[in-house]
Amino acid sequence: MAPLKTGGVIAAAALSFAIVTYFFSYRRRSNSSTRENPKSICPSKSKNGLIGAIGNTPLIRINSLSEATGCEILGKAEFLNPGGSVKDRIAVKIIEEALESGQLVRGGVVTEGSAGSTAISLATVAPAYGCKCHVVLPDDAAIEKSEILEALGAIVERVRPVSITHRDHYVNVARRRALEANIVSEEQKNGPNDCKGGFFADQFENLANFRAHYEGTGPEIWDQTGGNLDGFVAAAGTGGTIAGISKFLKEKNSSIKCFLIDPPGSGLFNKVTRGVMYTREEAEGKRLKNPFDTITEGIGINRLTQNFLMAELDGGFRGTDKEAVEMSRFLLKNDGLFVGSSSAMNCVGAVRLAQSIGPGHTIVTILCDSGMRHMSKFHSIQYLSEHGLMPSASSGLGFLDKTL
pLDDT digits (tens, 9 = 90+) for 131-160: 999 999 998 888 888 999 999 999 999 999
- pLDDT, position 351: 98
3 state DSSP class of 229: coil
- pLDDT, position 87: 97
Residue 392 burial class via C-beta count within 10 angstroms: exposed 0-12, middle 13-18, buried 19 and up:
exposed
Residue 23: band (very low, low, confident or very high) from pLDDT cuts 50, 70, 90: very low
Stretch 221-236: mean pLDDT: 98
The span from the CA of 301 to the CA of 56, in Å, is 28
Find the Cα–Cα–Cα–Cα dihedral 206, 210, 212, 216, rounded to 10°: -170
- pLDDT, position 190: 56
- pLDDT, position 46: 79
3 state DSSP class of 143: helix
Residue 189: band (very low, low, confident or very high) from pLDDT cuts 50, 70, 90: low
Please state, rounded to an integer, the average pLDDT across all residues of the chain: 86
Q: Which of 47 and 227 is assigned the larger pLDDT?
A: 227
Residue 62: band (very low, low, confident or very high) from pLDDT cuts 50, 70, 90: very high
Please determine, for residue 5, whether its predicted confidence score (pLDDT) is greater than 70: no
- pLDDT, position 159: 94
Stretch 10-16: mean pLDDT: 44
195 to 165, 175, 316: CA distances (angstroms): 30, 17, 45
The span from the CA of 211 to the CA of 236, in Å, is 15
Residue 185 near residue 197 (C-beta atoms within 8 A): yes
Q: Which of 339 and 280 is assigned the larger pLDDT?
A: 339
Residue 221: band (very low, low, confident or very high) from pLDDT cuts 50, 70, 90: very high
pLDDT tens digit sequence for 65-81: 999 999 999 999 999 99
Q: What's the CA angle centered on 102, arms 100 and 104, to 5 degrees? A: 95
Stretch 188-195: mean pLDDT: 63
Please determine, for residue 37, whether its predicted confidence score (pLDDT) is greater than 70: no
Please determine, for residue 20, whether its predicted confidence score (pLDDT) is greater than 50: no
Q: Which of 12 and 182 is assigned the larger pLDDT?
A: 182
Stretch 308-318: mean pLDDT: 97
Stretch 241-265: mean pLDDT: 97
The span from the CA of 342 to the CA of 367, in Å, is 8
pTM for this model (two decimals):
0.84
Please determine, for residue 287, whether its predicted confidence score (pLDDT) is greater than 50: no
> Going by C-beta distance under 8 Å and a sequence separation of 6 or more, which residues neighbour residue 234?
241, 242, 245, 260, 261, 346, 349, 365, 366
Q: What's the CA angle centered on 370, arms 225 and 52, to 5 degrees? A: 60
3 state DSSP class of 364: strand
The span from the CA of 10 to the CA of 23, in Å, is 20
- pLDDT, position 43: 52
Residue 347 near residue 74 (C-beta atoms within 8 A): no
- pLDDT, position 271: 94
Residue 348: band (very low, low, confident or very high) from pLDDT cuts 50, 70, 90: very high
How, if at all, do strands 109-113 and 72-77 pair? unpaired
Task: Identify the helix (H) or strand (E) that includes residue 138.
Answer: strand 132-138
